[in-house]
Structure 1
Amino acid sequence: MEISAGGRLEVAITAADVGKRVSVRSLIEHAAPGEKFTDTVGVLTSWDSGVLLITRRSGESVRIAESSLVAGKVVPAAPARRRGPAASYEELARVAARAWRSVESERLGDWELRAASGFTRRANSVLPLGEPGLPLDEALGAVRRWYDERGLPAYVQTATGAEGTQELLCAELEARGWVREVTAELWVGPLAPVADREEPSGVVLSREADEAWLARYQRKGVSEVALRVLGSGPSVWFATVPGATEGAAPAAIGRCVVDGRWAGFAAVEVDPALRRQGLGTAVMAALARRALDEGASAAWLQVEAENAGARELYAGMGFAAHHAYHHYRAPESGGTGR
């Protein structure tokens, strides 16, 4: 790691750089032979009592003793992305929120408190795009009261890994005992290559999630509130590949929300016995073609880190990770499904 112009290793960061993206090299304690140093890149979220806290793109927090630093520098706020449509974090966060709307919301400064009777964390969490208009502890107290009044656990949705994301807020929440329960990623890609995929006959598009579609949806016992969330968004489409026999659950389903230039894909699910036969791709292709007809040109979707099959599929379609997002639960609160 050549930090200075002359190629010398030096620590060129201070506590005044908290909030900036940095790259540091530090000594490894009890290192194995040949492994003397380790490099860490992320947002410097605190530097207190001789310890640096750096939040990586994934949301993982790394503690580094100041005494172990060998080199460090401030680096660009976000690495250059090599493929996919350009978009800011805030744009994507707002588009994603419009595609999965809560049934009740309230503003707290620039924060949006959202509730939907506990159906998914996304619809039952705070979206903090800006400042709450109160000191943080007061704001978090107001958040907890708001959700408590509705019999719901308090969650705050945050993001890391892109310009304008909330590494500092993540660190503040963790310092107050809030627990990160779920981490996933939002991926983006061009829409046309998805639409160009082969689409076998039989994919049925609808404006509503009918009984057949819900029979394949992974969340059973969907309530009226859940149906309202599923049907929310500027222009919502549902895709179904019928089952092989009459009355059978669909072979595959999917959902897409068209919002300006964006098409957001969700709930792409395939009968486990029929996976790796191109059904998920066919569903997305049919939805993408409809989205193109409505003027969309870019696509986004959300995928969990451990879903290797989905990540492989989406990467093959031209999608790439834009940022990671997380749900932090207030101390001593219960949980809901993602």
Structure 2
Amino acid sequence: MEISATGRLEIRITAADVGKRVSVRCLNDPARAGEKFTDTVGVLASWDDGVLLITRKSGETVRIPESSLVAGKVVPSAPARRRGPAASYEELAHVCTRAWRPVESERLGGWELRAASGFTRRANSVLPLGDPGLPLDEALSAVRRWYRERGLPAYVQTATGAEGTQELLCAELEKRGWTREVTAELWIGALAPLADREESAEVVLSRQADEAWLARYQRKGLSEVALKVLGSGPSVWFATIPGDGGVPAAIGRCVVDGRWAGFAAVEVDPALRRQGLASAVMAALAGRALDEGASAAWLQVETDNMGARELYARMGFSAHHAYHHYREPENSGSGR
């Protein structure tokens, strides 16, 4: 907090600082027990009608009455992570979308509208990198029309918590009644340590997801469109550890794209978990990615999947940013 030469706390932010990373301290409600003050760090998304909206790294939006402020200042971006590869949000966003391609896409300025018959939100949402070339309400109306023509709900995929992410857009979507349905995180790490891990089982690698691999995959009854998405990417590999009855004990997917290797669909028979099978799958895929020249790894993990988060942390991964999917309001006839 900012403290003046006289030792008093000071508010050194104004509405002109919208879009900047700030740290504020506010008085708690006197009726609440516990601490007198609450500190909040995040991006100042708006300051309207006596209320500040601050979006934290996690994507959570905190509403703070101006009247409760006792201190505040603009703070520098979070320091670079000490482990894992250096990466910008924009670079990772492009890498991730190339690893999970829709069957149809269209540009709206700097936004990419993506559709794949409803198979996963990632392939059926707008990726808003840059300016759409229209005022926001007009752009959102165009987005809703585009998805309505395809019989799909409109989603916008946003990110928070890194340099160049979309805290301001999140706040604007929420003002307009868009609902956040999913929050997950993108984690990154070095690739070589994964490949060095000991494989505890035989892993078979293939360029295609065969019937056995699909039998273990969590999404059943895949359409032709879904199979196209699953097989999309610059260099795609599927890993299988054979199991009983023709159903694999474990599977995984990896997409190699330049220096990056993206891991997904790492799934293990529930009866065989905690036996090193997931690590074996990732080690085999990492080895192949190294052979193709990759050096860095990324993956996506939901915030409530504690088992996966603990596993990936042990493998050297750490969170880079959070991402969210916002669904259009049910009554979406107008811009707001």
Superposed, 1:243-322 pairs within 5 Å as 243=243, 245=244, 247-322=245-320
Match of 1:330 among 305, 328, 331: 328
Q: CA deviation at 1:5?
A: 7.2
Which residue number in structure 2 is paired with residue 114 of structure 1?
114
Name the SS of the counterpart of 2:246 in structure 1: coil
Q: Distance in 2 between matches of 1:198 and 1:6?
A: 60
- CA 1:94/1:333 → structure 2, altered by over 3 Å: closer, same or farther? farther
Q: Distance in 1 between matches of 2:267 and 2:87?
A: 27
Which residue number in structure 2 is paired with residue 194 of structure 1?
194
- CA 1:34/1:227 → structure 2, altered by over 3 Å: closer, same or farther? closer
Letter in 2 for 1:230: L
Letter in 2 for 1:135: P
Which residue number in structure 2 is paired with residue 221 of structure 1?
221
Letter in 1 for 2:290: L
Superposed, 1:1-338 pairs within 5 Å as 1-3=1-3, 8-30=8-30, 32=32, 34-243=34-243, 245=244, 247-332=245-330
Instruction: State percent identity of aligned pairs.
Output: 85
Q: Distance in 2 between matches of 1:13 and 1:315?
A: 36
- CA 1:5/1:303 → structure 2, altered by over 3 Å: closer, same or farther? farther
- CA 1:219/1:228 → structure 2, altered by over 3 Å: closer, same or farther? same
Q: Distance in 2 between matches of 1:172 and 1:269?
A: 36
Indicate if the aligned counterparts of 1:101 and 1:229 stay in contact, CA closer than 8 A.
Answer: yes
Q: CA deviation at 1:28?
A: 0.6
Indicate if the aligned counterparts of 2:117 and 2:225 stay in contact, CA closer than 8 A.
Answer: yes
- CA 1:33/1:105 → structure 2, altered by over 3 Å: closer, same or farther? closer
Per mean C-alpha deviation after superposition, the further-off stretch among 69-78 and 11-20 is: 69-78
| Two-structure CA RMSD over aligned residues (Å) | 1.5
Q: Distance in 2 between matches of 1:289 and 1:224?
A: 30
Name the SS of the counterpart of 1:280 in structure 2: helix
Q: Distance in 2 between matches of 1:161 and 1:277?
A: 34
Letter in 2 for 1:78: A
Indicate if the aligned counterparts of 1:3 and 1:73 stay in contact, CA closer than 8 A.
Answer: no
- CA 1:196/1:11 → structure 2, altered by over 3 Å: closer, same or farther? same
Name the SS of the counterpart of 1:54 in structure 2: strand
The CA deviation string for residues 42-98 of structure 1, in whole angstroms up to 9 with x for no partner, is: 000000111100001111110101111111110113333222111000000000000
Q: What is the TM-score when the length of structure 2 is the normalising length? A: 0.96
Q: Distance in 2 between matches of 1:268 and 1:47?
A: 43
Indicate if the aligned counterparts of 1:154 and 1:333 stay in contact, CA closer than 8 A.
Answer: no
Name the SS of the counterpart of 1:189 in structure 2: strand
The CA deviation string for residues 15-51 of structure 1, in whole angstroms up to 9 with x for no partner, is: 0000000000111103555510010010000001111
The CA deviation string for residues 288-324 of structure 1, in whole angstroms up to 9 with x for no partner, is: 0000000000000000000000000000000000000
- CA 1:67/1:193 → structure 2, altered by over 3 Å: closer, same or farther? same
Q: CA deviation at 1:253?
A: 0.2
Name the SS of the counterpart of 1:276 in structure 2: coil
Indicate if the aligned counterparts of 1:3 and 1:72 stay in contact, CA closer than 8 A.
Answer: no
Count residues in correspondence. Answer: 332
Name the SS of the counterpart of 1:194 in structure 2: helix
- CA 1:196/1:4 → structure 2, altered by over 3 Å: closer, same or farther? farther
- CA 1:221/1:25 → structure 2, altered by over 3 Å: closer, same or farther? same
Indicate if the aligned counterparts of 2:2 and 2:72 stay in contact, CA closer than 8 A.
Answer: no
Q: Distance in 1 between matches of 2:5 and 2:123?
A: 49
- CA 1:2/1:275 → structure 2, altered by over 3 Å: closer, same or farther? same
Indicate if the aligned counterparts of 2:201 and 2:277 stay in contact, CA closer than 8 A.
Answer: no
Gaps of 5+ in 1: none
Name the SS of the counterpart of 1:95 in structure 2: helix
Q: Distance in 2 between matches of 1:298 and 1:59?
A: 25
Q: Distance in 2 between matches of 1:280 and 1:312?
A: 12
Name the SS of the counterpart of 2:251 in structure 1: strand
- CA 1:275/1:201 → structure 2, altered by over 3 Å: closer, same or farther? closer
